[in-house]
Amino acid sequence: SKSNRSVTINASSQYIYYAYPSSYGSLSLIKDGNGFDVTSSFNKYTVNVTSTGLGTNYTESYNIYRTNSVTSVAGQSFTFNF
């Protein structure tokens, strides 16, 4: 369900991705483990995922936020707010 989330992230020279259904709208704020606003460090993309071969086929749109560059963090809790 749509709500603000905190996620502990461990990454070593990797991109960080955060994805959710686009029907929830855009994020208003992303904070790192130190409480800094790092929203501008992420790019937003929207992709459609389509199922086929099921009893009912469907397409769902997702918002994906990805860091602008590879990064390394150790056990930091990132907060994603709507």
pLDDT by 10-residue block (mean), the chain, 82 residues = 95 97 98 97 97 92 98 96 98
Q: How far is CA 74 from CA 13, 48, 55, 62, in A?
A: 11, 31, 43, 27
Q: Residue 61: what pLDDT?
A: 98
- List all residues 6 or more positions away from 40 whose beta carbon is below 8 Å from its beta carbon: none
**Quick one: pLDDT at residue 64?**
98
